[in-house]
Chain A
């Protein structure tokens, strides 16, 4: 019995304990690590992919997978820049249009999955390439900044509005970064939807047993559409935050966003022994990745180690979650 309790305990608290130990270790080895400024830097470094991961959580819960969110975020960066810099539209209009495009991407993905019946992994893989390619087309493959020469040889005269840039660069009370607040706001909303409303119950039910959900009267396809649209919508919101932070439209800004976001959501399985996608775990997973990268960089880890370490953490967290729980069950 004693052995069993240790297993239970480590499934529930193991991940948070590892995180606490690492935090303490970094603080001792490098005192600058726990300065308020650095801690906000960590949060700032995770808020883009952390936000995306929250959207991905909806899809993961319904037992799906959305591989297109990195591309959708990158497309949003380019469209934001194009609308403001080239077409000289205002910040608010730009935001609404970009979010609208996110919804359209989500609807198209849902169409492929629900109506055309392509398996989700393949449908979103295809859309990943499609959307990634789409970002190059308006600007003819070039990055967009003030004064850039766009396709027709005309110089782009518009600029990012101050209000728009505030979303990425602003600080509330001069300390707390606005995008961090936005990520936490999204997290709270997602948390409430998933654990307090009937919609959350239905999402989890579909993920657990879609046939049983159908037979208690759930319109399974409708909820799948909602999940993919939410995921794309939130990815385009994350793209807006990224565009606002850098203040220009760089091509290829998807970078490692997709892997970081999915990694955070999957690491979230291990938090508090949830063994399923959950918004709290997702945020903790994102902060864990950010903390580890920040701490190791401070201890002069070279940049080319980053992806390897992130991947190792993800594999370890998954092995921990599924390996232990399998023997357990």
Chain B
């Protein structure tokens, strides 16, 4: 790579209060190169990106664009230098009440050069051009964005970023909520862009994507550059650079032996989505079952029914041989069916609460006397026990949960439901935005402590489920299309099963 870098960052540092988020970070971003930026949660990836896209103005160090030192104080300035960013939080990238066309052509629409009278047909025409960049022609241009799936919203943000011909394109976890097919489309577009000379920074926890796409991998650890890897790299050496000298072996499965004689949960002819074939499934004592499939395969729908959020259309469920008909979430919990929901920030974390208060939230009755007065001492003891068991890195159980890194927050949320015995713990995308080390610790703890209960781990990422499960089940278009025991996992076949079309399944 003899070319001149488009953007250079030199000795970048940033502190938030007492926390040193970034320290002395140097990177060069070259045209026609895809640099993957990796690191555990809290390593400083997001902070670095936010500095480069002008969001944080109080940084230390220098940013050099086209050999000129610049001072980035606002996203607008970064944008004017040709830096485009697709942020992780999808709904910050789109305006929900506007149509797909308006969102695609947002920049043109809000441009001061627009005529005073709103010309929707012209916006729509431009939107169609932008949609073509990512093959989004299937979208209904006139539908409001709140009515379309998350994955399509993400695709809109990406298409819009591409439309402005950026010099440096930054993508922060772009595949975290899109399907594998959409991801493939994104990848081929990115590679085309790269070949046309754009510099791309790609942030992801999904290391397999990175080994396929990246020309170079930059690793951040604890706010510092922990290494730069050049091709060829493997998942193992990336992980090694990210987490240091921790053994990254697969989670040991000898810890627990599931007991195939005792059926814990049984689904009989269960239909959770209109018009889908009935589902029959037995989960055995001590078993961790992984459920995978693309977005829209019907995984979350099953979880909702198990957890009493939705009623099944037909069929029966049995827990320990007894008929199980949850009326609401509370009755599910009382039956020992727990769920750790997807999207930690919106669905699980009480951001104003301490770690203790977050852990104890589902089972307050464990800590009350007859007058419903909370016994704080007892609460602290339990919270401490769970913090130690789950190796949550924190000052004390009274620290605010927001003082923790993402992976440690997730440990707290998991701890919330592993405090008491259960019949079934459902974990819906438990490793989204969780670093490799935390993921392995959560997995180990879950397997060790599942006891006579069971767990259902739902994840789109195949590796996540394979690592943790005794048995992997694949859903596709609402149909259970395959099942493999831990000893006989054939990854190629699993990938094939998840990506079949509806016609292929039905034949």
Check A216 against B362 for contact (C-beta < 8 Å).
Answer: yes
Check B348 against A197 for contact (C-beta < 8 Å).
Answer: no
Partner of B374, one of A196, A217, A219: A196
Residues of A within 8 A of B (CB-CB), count: 22
In whole angstroms, how far apart are the Cα atoms of A39 and B347 in the complex?
48
Check B352 against A197 for contact (C-beta < 8 Å).
Answer: no
Check A215 against B351 for contact (C-beta < 8 Å).
Answer: no
CB-contacts of B295-348 with A (<8 A): 328-330, 332-333, 339, 341, 346-348
Residue B121 CB within 8 A of the other chain: no
CB-contacts of A1-44 with B (<8 A): 1, 4
Check B333 against A217 for contact (C-beta < 8 Å).
Answer: yes
**Closest B residue, CB atoms, query A200:** B374
Partner of B372, one of A1, A198, A212, A213: A198
Residue B365 CB within 8 A of the other chain: yes
In whole angstroms, how far apart are the Cα atoms of A219 and B373 in the complex?
19
Size class of the contact patch on chain B: 20 to 34
**How many residue pairs between the two chains, A and B, have CB atoms under 8 Å in the bound complex?**
64
Residue B487 CB within 8 A of the other chain: no
In whole angstroms, how far apart are the Cα atoms of A198 and B360 in the complex?
11
Check B373 against A197 for contact (C-beta < 8 Å).
Answer: yes
**Closest A residue, CB atoms, query B376:** A196
In whole angstroms, how far apart are the Cα atoms of A209 and B348 in the complex?
8
Residue B112 CB within 8 A of the other chain: no
**Closest B residue, CB atoms, query A195:** B374
Chain B residues closer than 8 Å to A1, beta-carbon distance: 18
In whole angstroms, how far apart are the Cα atoms of A215 and B435 in the complex?
24
Residue B196 CB within 8 A of the other chain: no
CB-contacts of A63-100 with B (<8 A): none
Check A208 against B330 for contact (C-beta < 8 Å).
Answer: no
Check A215 against B373 for contact (C-beta < 8 Å).
Answer: no
Check B372 against A209 for contact (C-beta < 8 Å).
Answer: no
Given A201-B357, A205-B361, are A212 and B17 neighbors across the interface (CB < 8 Å)? no
Check B368 against A212 for contact (C-beta < 8 Å).
Answer: no
Check B347 against A197 for contact (C-beta < 8 Å).
Answer: no
Check B348 against A212 for contact (C-beta < 8 Å).
Answer: yes
In whole angstroms, how far apart are the Cα atoms of A39 and B18 in the complex?
44
In whole angstroms, how far apart are the Cα atoms of A211 and B309 in the complex?
12
In whole angstroms, how far apart are the Cα atoms of A196 and B17 in the complex?
32
CB-contacts of B338-393 with A (<8 A): 339, 341, 346-353, 357, 361-362, 364-365, 367-368, 371-374
Check B353 against A211 for contact (C-beta < 8 Å).
Answer: no
Chain A residues closer than 8 Å to B349, beta-carbon distance: 209, 212
Check B364 against A198 for contact (C-beta < 8 Å).
Answer: yes
Chain B residues closer than 8 Å to A217, beta-carbon distance: 329-330, 332-333, 362
Chain B residues closer than 8 Å to A322, beta-carbon distance: none
Chain A 153-190, CB-CB to B under 8 Å as 1, else 0, gives 00000000000000000000000000000000000000
B contact residues vs A (CB 8 Å cutoff): 17-18, 328-330, 332-333, 339, 341, 346-353, 357, 361-362, 364-365, 367-368, 371-374, 416
Can you sample 22 A-B contacts with CB below 8 Å?
A4-B17, A192-B373, A196-B374, A197-B373, A198-B364, A198-B368, A198-B372, A201-B357, A201-B361, A201-B374, A204-B353, A209-B346, A212-B347, A212-B348, A212-B349, A212-B350, A215-B347, A216-B329, A216-B362, A217-B332, A217-B333, A219-B328
